[in-house]
Chain A
Amino acid sequence: MTALLRLYPRAWRERYGDEMLALLEGQPASPLDHFDLIRGALDAHLHPQVRGLGATDKETSMNQRMLALLAAVGGIIWMAGFAAWLTAPITAAGDRESIPAIPMVAISIALMGIAVGELGTRPGSPSWTGHAIAGASIVFAVLLPLPWLFNVTDAAWGVVVLSLFGFPVLASLAAIRGRQNGVMPTWITAAIVAGAVAAWVGYGGSTPESVKWVGLLLGASFVGLAVQTLAAPPRAAESAVV
């Protein structure tokens, strides 16, 4: 049983560990209790509640730093992927060779989606919306390379539309939600929404070649999100919303 308690964050164990042990010593734990402890540990990591022990703010801030890192890496990979696509040779069919860019864009979608979904959630507040945004981004990221992996190019356009056009919408929604939750400054929200619009313009078949590079802006806005988070991490909620 103490092994399960080790799944909890250190600050949590310092505050509630002995009380949890006292509870479990008084009543043998059922299999459901084991499951409940694991679920509780996951929640304690995702939504740290324990404050005032020093370690909690540190752990919260560590989560924020990890998410900032994901945003930065995702943004950079996105820009690299976009640049790889724009500099790829034109195929006989008249399209750009997408294969080198697709894995990079897919990975960046997953990283940026997790970052913006979770960073848009007020620390300490349980929110399935943030998890849903992160999860949907992962689904988009997994779907994107499938037509190329299985050589089903007829399906490629549908998947591209869903993933590449859908992700900027998700990112914008997450950023607007972060603004509403008071954890994202207006300029970051505006930058992500503008980056999402720029990504759409960048994909546009009728967009002039020189303008397609604006698609890089979405990656840049995520690097901005990372810098902002590292400079001023959102604090745990006093009164949670959403």
Chain B
Amino acid sequence: MSMRSPLASFGRFARPAQQIVTVLAAGPRTPPRIRREVGARCGTDLGPGTLFGALARLERHALVEVLPASSAPRAYRLTALGATTLEAELGALAANGAGTRSGSAPSWSPAR
């Protein structure tokens, strides 16, 4: 039986959340850096409301956690659950896109 991804319940924040966890797969990042890297990798400019709306959902679902720091900007990192979810997301996307993918890298490609 397949388990539903927590990101599926994020509504309009699902895709930004997916992009954020993809960026965080490379290591902890502060929100400004997440925004820059999502923009560079996916060509999407995450607005501040969308970025923090998605981060809040990811944090509440224990997919990301914030590293202790005395002041902003604090860095976020993937939790073990977040890493598992990312793997499942990428697996599902790869399975869905296997028949149709061309040579170009998808916009959600994970950090290398």
- Prevailing SS type, chain B contact patch: helix
With contacts A49-B56, A124-B60 taken as known, whether A40 is within 8 angstroms of B12 at the C-beta atoms is: no
Give the contacting residue for A33; candidates B13, B48, B61; CB below 8 A: B48
Tell me if B11 is interfacial: C-beta within 8 Å of chain A. Answer: yes
Contact present for B48 and A126 (CB under 8 Å):
no
Residues facing A in B28-72 (CB within 8 A) are: 30-32, 35, 45, 47-53, 55-57, 59-61, 71-72
With contacts A19-B73, A26-B32, A49-B57 taken as known, whether A36 is within 8 angstroms of B13 at the C-beta atoms is: no
Give the contacting residue for A125; candidates B9, B56, B73; CB below 8 A: B9
- Which B residues are in CB contact (< 8 Å) with A187? none
Contact present for A126 and B52 (CB under 8 Å):
no
Give the total of A residues in contact with B, Cβ under 8 Å.
38
In the complex, how many angstroms separate the beta carbon of B70 from the nearest chain A beta carbon?
11
Alpha-carbon separation in the docked complex, A242 to B11 (Å): 9
Contact present for A20 and B52 (CB under 8 Å):
yes
Contact present for A21 and B72 (CB under 8 Å):
yes
Tell me if A14 is interfacial: C-beta within 8 Å of chain B. Answer: no
Contact present for A19 and B50 (CB under 8 Å):
no
- Which A residues are in CB contact (< 8 Å) with B35? 23, 27
With contacts A37-B47, A127-B11, A240-B9 taken as known, whether A19 is within 8 angstroms of B72 at the C-beta atoms is: yes
Give the total of B residues in contact with A, Cβ under 8 Å.
28
- Which B residues are in CB contact (< 8 Å) with A236? 60
Alpha-carbon separation in the docked complex, A23 to B35 (Å): 9
Tell me if B10 is interfacial: C-beta within 8 Å of chain A. Answer: yes
Instruction: Tell me the total A-B contact number using a CB cutoff of 8 A.
Output: 87
In the complex, how many angstroms separate the beta carbon of A51 from the nearest chain B beta carbon?
6
Tell me if B97 is interfacial: C-beta within 8 Å of chain A. Answer: no
Residue of A nearest to B61 (CB): A239
Tell me if B6 is interfacial: C-beta within 8 Å of chain A. Answer: yes
- Which B residues are in CB contact (< 8 Å) with A127? 11
Most buried by A among B32, B35, B49, B51: B49
Contact present for A20 and B48 (CB under 8 Å):
yes
- Which A residues are in CB contact (< 8 Å) with B15? none
- Which A residues are in CB contact (< 8 Å) with B11? 125-128
Nearest 6 Cβ contacts at the A-B interface: A40-B49, A36-B47, A126-B11, A240-B9, A49-B56, A22-B72
**Further 12 A-B residue pairs, CB within 8 A, beyond A15-B56, A40-B47, A49-B60:** A18-B72, A21-B72, A22-B31, A23-B31, A23-B35, A26-B32, A35-B47, A39-B47, A40-B48, A51-B60, A240-B10, A242-B9
28 contacts between A and B (CB under 8 A): A15-B56, A16-B55, A19-B31, A19-B52, A19-B73, A20-B31, A22-B30, A23-B31, A23-B51, A23-B73, A27-B32, A36-B48, A36-B49, A39-B50, A40-B47, A40-B49, A40-B50, A43-B53, A44-B53, A49-B53, A49-B57, A49-B59, A125-B11, A126-B9, A126-B11, A126-B13, A127-B11, A242-B9
Q: Which residues of B contact A (CB under 8 A)?
A: 6, 9-13, 30-32, 35, 45, 47-53, 55-57, 59-61, 71-74
